[in-house]
Amino acid sequence: MEEMAAILAHLPIEILTLDSYPEIGDIPETGKTLKDNALIKAQTVHDFTGLPALADDTGLEVDALDGAPGVFSARFAGADATFDDNCNKMLDALNGTPIKERTAKFRTVIAFVKEEEKLWTEGLVEGFILDQRKGSGGFGYDSIFYYPELNKTFAELKKSEKNNISHRGKALRNFCKILEKRIKTNG
């Protein structure tokens, strides 16, 4: 939420979160793709509130695993998996795989729903999956996702560094450009 608020702060919009609508509860992620899930979440919030809604979904796509876990990233090790469980399963799945074959990307899809209008965009960051954890920051797969341009894992980056290069930040900035054009066109 902080990242979204910072990126969209210059626009003449008010951002509300699901905290304002606790009765919505958890929204099932039943889509087959990140785009599907982001649209399901945005549509659900729009249907409930009647307000324009923005939602996202993120996944880690590992080339040596044919793009898995992708849409199942949060539950790679099972429905009730922890971040540690998912990282451990990833490390086991890639055990013995050379680093040059451990290419991966984080992908975030942002979806927007307003009445019949549906828009989406995405952001991605490419890197490698290490064979052991490195760093103590972040969450999810951050401690095993190595970003070559900064020679660090996402877990070794300061929050501000990660926000500048993250897949979610890129998706939000891409969406911001779309929203800016809409605001200029529609007033």
3-state helix, strand, coil in the chain (%, to 5): 40, 20, 35
Q: Report the C-alpha gap between 23 and 73 in whole angstroms.
A: 26
Q: What is the pLDDT of residue 13?
A: 78
The CATH number fitting domain 2-186, selected from 3.40.640.10, 3.90.950.10, 1.10.260.40, 3.50.30.10: 3.90.950.10
- CB burial class (10 A; 0-12, 13-18, 19+) of residue 88? middle
Q: What is the pLDDT of residue 156?
A: 97
Contacts of 93 (CB under 8 A, 6+ apart): 62, 65
| Catalytically annotated residue among 57, 92, 131, 142 | 57
pLDDT (tens digit, 0 to 9) for every residue of the chain, 187 residues total? 667 777 777 777 788 888 899 999 999 999 999 999 999 999 999 999 999 999 999 999 999 999 999 999 999 999 999 999 999 999 999 999 999 999 999 999 999 999 999 999 999 999 999 999 999 988 899 999 999 999 999 999 998 888 889 999 899 989 988 888 877 777 5
Query: Does the predicted model carry a pTM greater than 0.95?
Result: no
Stated as kind and residue range, the H or E segment containing 185 is helix 167-186
DSSP-based three-state secondary structure for 5? helix
* Other Cβ atoms closer than 10 A to 160: 8
154 with 135: CB under 8 angstroms? yes
Pairing of β 145-147 and β 152-153: antiparallel
- To the query of whether residue 57 is one of the catalytic residues in this protein, the response is yes
Q: What is the pLDDT of residue 179?
A: 81
Q: Report the C-alpha gap between 154 and 49 in whole angstroms.
A: 35
Q: Where are the beta strands (DSSP E) in 37-174?
A: 53-62, 69-70, 103-114, 117-129, 145-147, 152-153
Q: What is the pLDDT of residue 1?
A: 64
Q: Where are the beta strands (DSSP E) in the chain?
A: 53-62, 69-70, 103-114, 117-129, 145-147, 152-153
